[in-house]
Amino acid sequence: MLIVIALGGNALLQRSEPLESELQRKNVKLTAKAIAELAREHQVVVCHGNGPQVGLLALQNEAYTKVKPYPLDVLDAESQGMIGYLIQQELGNQLPDKPAVTLLTQVLVDKNDPAFRAPSKPIGPVYDQAQAEAVRAKRGWDIAPDGDYWRRVVPSPQPQEIIELNIAKQLLDAGVTIVFGGGGGITEVRTDENKLEGEEAVIDKDNTAALIAEKLGADALVILTDVEAACVNWGKPEQKSIKTASPQALLDMDFAKGSMGPKITAASRFAVNTGKFAAIGKLSCLKEIISGTTGTHIVADAKEVSYY
């Protein structure tokens, strides 16, 4: 099987952890161990998030005032290299006989996407409200609530095309495990002269992973997060974990827009467009998700919603 794995931010950092290199290394070791168990039996493509890291790079970028701050597309590329290096190194340590490589990935978006006028993608560290207001006043950034905290938000357009897709296919044909589409990809638009040009945005990695999985002909898309399954009535006494559902059944439910909602949308899109299954679940349960014993499975022809 060819499986595309979308890694949530918890694969690198827990929400309460500082953005430190050693903590990310510690978390990546656990992540790579889980992925390696799967990669021994299947072809694997890894797509990771970069929200905390690209936000940190932006803060570091702003701190040195002798040059103009680098734009987000350059910081996207930096975060792809940084995170990809950690994952690639640890996958190599786990599977020394199976090559792994990070492929710097450009992703084409529509320059007229309305997301450019409505920033929504949280990046960087979390702030309390007073800190958020101070950051907004000092830097002129868009700030929005993120759970109990506040974070910087930037445009997050929909991915339209993966520029390096054919290179990825060649690497997979050669038996290479690839880290691909990291951070949702480096945001690109086409100019009137049909040239690629970077844009100030961070694409949602789940949307990019779904597009990559579809275009590569993957057998499954697995979106990993910090919960064992998607739930109805989240946080209430009647909360229930969803085992299996059709895409439409899930899209008709109400999920948090800043967390589970985008994962449901991306996974459902893959299931509808390909007729294959997508799943959402916990990183530590990756093999069990593939075997169907845990996680939420989105299946195009599911007749009813089942629960654990």
Active-site residue set: 9-10, 121, 205, 263
**Euclidean distance between CA atoms 185 and 108, whole angstroms:** 9
Alpha helix segments (H runs only) across the chain:
21-39, 51-63, 72-94, 129-139, 165-173, 205-216, 247-251, 260-274, 286-291
Confirm if 286 and 301 have CB atoms less than 8 A apart. Answer: no
CA distances from 159 to 76, 150, 230, 300 (A): 14, 26, 24, 22
Dihedral of alpha carbons 281, 201, 107, 13, sign: negative
For 304, the 3-state DSSP assignment is coil
